[in-house]
Amino acid sequence: MPSRLSQWRDYLQYEKALSRHTLRAYESDVHHFLDFLMAHLGKPPGLDDLSAVSIRDFRSWLSRKAMDGLSNASRARSLSGVKNFLSWLDKQGILHNAAVSVVRTPKLAHKLPKPILEKQAFELLDMAGADNDWQALRDKALFTLLYGAGLRIDEALSLNIGDLAASRDFLIVTGKGRKQRQVPILAIVKSTIDNYLAARPFDSGPDMPLFIGARGGRLHQGVAQRSMRQIRVSLGLPETATPHALRHSFATHLLENGANLREIQELLGHASLSTTQRYTEINAKELLAIYKKAHPRA
């Protein structure tokens, strides 16, 4: 079992190129499932035991996770991790489990992205650089990039200076599954990045991280989130105003101003158009709210 787990992990890391967060979650989920089987069987489970796991066993495991307080989304992800492992074992000709394909994924709530208003986005970006020291200029550059280019926070923090084109007209961004895309950069984004780079006290070679912390290492996501939280509190913005909300705001405001879904999909790096279509639901809800508020017979 340990050798098969190690081979599966290599497959996820090097062939599927999963993010480190997904990889860690999948490993944790599979180990939790194996621990559950060990308690159920009274011994460490082997490959034959995995092959014999019944639909009742899977349901018992998911029920245990529900009793431990895990949400439907967490249980769905756990089941996905276990299914992935068993599917890989099946494709390798190691074992086959007939029951796992019958297990229903816990129903997920339909959640819409939560963007902030254009006015709120501008206020947030203005306050981010208010102190005018290099770290404030860094936060302003980071948040302006997230809102101006629609990057995920981990995509932005993974950038090196060399990922900037010499002209500063576009960025080379590595997204999920290590897929690269070119993202056009607005003049205001270029300006805030240049101001930050001119002020930062550390080396600016092409292999250096674009966004750095106080000691010169790559900026940690928690530091960016803390900076956003401080600004959010000062402006009285909702708790949904996070770095990732700037990406949602980028897409929503583009859609409101006439961009089509295919263009937004490409800019965001979505593999499926259905993911991008969530933003049309936000627009539809806002349109209905305005209609009901404004129409004399509403």
Residue 69 pLDDT level (bands cut at 50, 70, 90): confident
Lowest-confidence pick of 2-16, 79-93, 139-153, 242-256: 242-256
Q: What pLDDT score was predicted for residue 240?
A: 83
pLDDT digits (tens, 9 = 90+) for 9-25: 999 988 888 878 888 99
Residue in this structure with the two tokens 């550059």, named with its chain if needed:
141
Please, which pLDDT band fits residue 110 given cuts at 50, 70 and 90? Answer: low
User: What is the residue extent of each domain of the chain?
Assistant: 2-102, 118-292
* pLDDT for the residue 111: 67
Check if CATH label 1.10.443.10 holds for domain 118-292: yes
Q: Which residues contact 120 (CB under 8 A, 6 or more apart)?
A: 235, 237, 241
Output the CATH code of domain 2-102. 1.10.150.130
Please classify residue 133 by burial: count the beta carbons closer than 10 Å to its beta carbon, then call 0-12 exposed, 13-18 middle and 19+ buried: exposed
Q: Indicate the pLDDT class of residue 289, thresholds 50, 70 and 90.
A: low
Using the predicted structure, report yes or no on whether residue 213 has a pLDDT greater than 90.
yes
Q: Using alpha carbons, list the distances in angstroms from residue 146 to 34, 182, 245.
A: 40, 15, 9
Domains 2-102 and 118-292 share a fold: no
Token code pair at residue 206 = 């092409």
Structural element, H or E, at residue 211: none
* Buried/exposed 239-271: b ≥16 CB within 10 Å, e otherwise: eebbbbbbbbbbbbbbbeeeeebeebbebbbbe
Residue recorded with tokens 């900076």: 227
Q: What CA–CA distance (Å, rounded) separates 102 from 165?
A: 49
Q: Which residues of 34-45 are buried (b: 16+ CB within 10 A; e: fewer)?
A: bebbeeeeeeeb
Mean pLDDT for 177-192 is 85
Mean pLDDT value of segment 90-102: 92
Cite the active site residues.
Answer: 152, 176, 244, 247, 270, 279
Across all residues in the chain, what is the average pLDDT? 86
Local confidence band at 173 (pLDDT 50, 70, 90 cut-offs) = confident
pTM over 0.85: no
- Residue 275, pLDDT score: 67
> How large is the average pLDDT for residues 244-254?
87
pLDDT in tens, 149-163: 889 898 999 999 988
Burial of 114 (0-12, 13-18, 19+ CB in 10 A): middle
Q: What is the pLDDT of residues 112-147, one digit of tens each?
A: 667 888 889 999 999 987 777 899 999 999 999 999
Say which range, 120-124, 235-239, 274-278, has the weakest mean pLDDT: 274-278
For residue 104, pLDDT over 90 is answered with no
